[in-house]
Structure formats: C-alpha cells, structure tokens
Amino acid sequence: MKIDWKKKLTSRKLWVSVAGFVSMLIVAFGVAEETATQISAIIMSGASVIGYAIGEGLADSKSEFMIEETDEIEDEE
C-alpha cells in the first residue's frame, strides 16, 4: 500500500490535529498558554506554506505536461 504524501501533507485536518496536540502537550508541561498559542500559530503558518508549495508544484507539473503534450500533437501535424 502506497501512502499519498502530497495529499497527507496538504490536509488541514492533519495540521489542526498536530497543532492541537503540540499546544496541549506544551500546556501539560507547564509552559504558559500564550506560548502554546504562539507555537500553534507557527505550526499552522508552516502548514499553509507547505500546502501552497505542494499545490503550486502540482499545478506547475500538470501545466508543463499539457504544454509538452500539445507540442507533440503539433509536431505530428
């Protein structure tokens, strides 16, 4: 069974779960809630960047494929 890492890393549910787990873990160790909130915000910001980068990469690769396919069709004519 192959794991679709692109889909997993762009999942908002995954990142919300990770941020919630980390923030609760920080609070459990006695760190201030403000710090936990800041760290959760950093995790979610990082997740946004990762999701955007993967999404743009996929879009670019699909458009490049379409351009190459169109060029091949034109060459055959």
Domain count, the chain: 1
Between 21 and 77, where is the model more confident? 21
Query: Each residue of 7-44: b (16+ CB within 10 Å) or e?
Result: eeebeeeebeeebeeebeebeeeeeeeeebeebbeebe
Report pLDDT for 38: 92
Each residue of 67-76: pLDDT tens digit? 655 555 555 5
Here the tokens at position 34 are: 């403000």
Report pLDDT for 53: 86
Report pLDDT for 47: 87
What's the domain range around 43?
Answer: 5-76
Each residue of 2-58: pLDDT tens digit? 888 778 877 888 888 888 898 889 989 999 989 988 998 999 898 888 888 888 887
Is 43:15 a contact under the CB 8 Å cutoff? yes
